[in-house]
């Protein structure tokens, strides 16, 4: 006789019922431990998300065409999650982890309304959902152990992304956030500087005075630094010279490595650079690791 699947148990409510409402960010990571322990995941890699769905009687997330979102918690009370069908599997897995965290905050919002206590701001909640997804897929204790063995490098990130079944970019972020020593992950893209993107309101353009044209340069798009980073601020939109190894990675389409001095406006840092060209959405970008 076939056994019937268990009835759905909302994981967020199950956690709050056992441990009470969220008080600190540490409680969010306690929820990740709760998910792993409930599904008896132990130290198996990669994280078996299906085991979590099975334990709580949740349907497997539906892969559907989505335009502007990677995932949607469609029905919290039935555990229905939608995932963008044309995303790579590793991206889908991170989105699933994010939506599992959304279930916690959905339950917390209901509790907050009943108890008339403040809810967490949307930006903070989204950041914690990503952090929780990273912890679920790349548990700190295991990841740190592997990182200490492999070291901080692009090659290490490739190996770890295969082991944990996570995207290279998500793995690099986790790698830098948990690394000892001074390291920075910087993503560059071709862009105009802010003052060049829109003409000033007072600027007049006539046949005699045509609007100036500017060529986009390779600039910092976003960055993450290790906890030990002490080399100063990495300003967004700061451009890099075309002779840099970082720019050469984009020009040649090949990974570049070497020692380099990078001018950052306020000063220069001497560092070892690893740079590789990547496509992020429709943008041609460069991912770089800076090591001091």
Give the pLDDT confidence score for residue 114 in this predicted structure. Answer: 81
Q: Give CA 274 to chain center in angstroms.
A: 20
Distance separating alpha carbons of residues 66 and 222, to the nearest angstrom: 25
- Mean pLDDT, residues 228-243 taken together: 92
Residue 68 is predicted with a pLDDT of: 86
Average pLDDT over residues 77-85: 96
**Confidence class for position 117, pLDDT limits 50, 70, 90:** confident
Structure pTM?
Answer: 0.90
Decide if domain 181-196+215-292 falls under CATH 3.30.450.130: yes
Determine the pLDDT at residue 199.
57
Distance CA 175, CA 283 (A): 23
Q: pLDDT value at position 3?
A: 43
CATH number for domain 11-137, candidates 1.10.3720.10, 3.10.640.10, 3.40.50.1980, 1.10.10.2910:
1.10.10.2910
Give the chain's mean pLDDT. 91
pLDDT at 183: 97
Q: What is the pLDDT of residue 113?
A: 84
Q: What percent of the chain has pLDDT over 90?
A: 79
- How would residue 267 be classed by pLDDT, with cut points 50, 70 and 90? confident
pLDDT in tens, 120-151: 899 999 999 999 999 999 999 999 999 999 99
Q: What is the pLDDT of residue 205?
A: 52
How do the domains of the chain map onto residue ranges? 11-137, 147-179, 181-196+215-292
């Amino acid at each position: 006789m076939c056994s019937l699947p268990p009835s759905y148990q909302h994981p967020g409510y199950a956690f709050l019922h056992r441990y009470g409402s969220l008080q600190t960010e540490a409680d969010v990571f306690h929820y990740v431990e709760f998910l792993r322990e409930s599904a008896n995941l132990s130290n198996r890699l990669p994280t078996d998300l299906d085991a979590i769905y099975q334990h709580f009687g949740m349907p497997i997330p539906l892969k559907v065409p989505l335009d502007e979102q990677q995932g949607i918690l469609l029905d919290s009370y039935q555990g229905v999650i939608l995932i963008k069908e044309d995303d790579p599997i590793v991206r889908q897995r991170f989105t699933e982890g994010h939506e599992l965290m959304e279930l916690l905050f959905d339950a917390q919002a209901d509790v907050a309304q009943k108890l008339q206590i403040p809810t967490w701001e949307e930006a903070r909640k989204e950041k914690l959902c990503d952090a929780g997804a990273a912890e679920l897929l790349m548990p700190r204790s295991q990841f740190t152990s592997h990182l200490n063995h492999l070291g901080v490098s692009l090659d290490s990130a490739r190996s770890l992304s295969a082991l944990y079944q996570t995207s290279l970019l998500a793995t690099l972020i986790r790698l830098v956030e948990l690394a000892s020593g001074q390291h920075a992950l910087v993503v560059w893209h071709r862009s105009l500087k802010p003052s060049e993107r829109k003409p000033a309101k007072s600027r007049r353009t006539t046949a005699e005075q045509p609007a100036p044209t500017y060529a986009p340069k390779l600039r910092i798009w976003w960055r993450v630094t290790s906890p030990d980073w002490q080399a100063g601020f990495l300003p967004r939109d700061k451009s890099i010279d075309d002779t840099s190894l970082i720019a050469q990675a984009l020009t040649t389409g090949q990974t570049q490595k070497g020692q380099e001095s990078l001018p950052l406006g306020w000063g220069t840092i001497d560092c070892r650079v690893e740079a590789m060209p990547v496509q992020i959405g429709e943008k041609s970008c460069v991912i770089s690791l800076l090591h001091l």
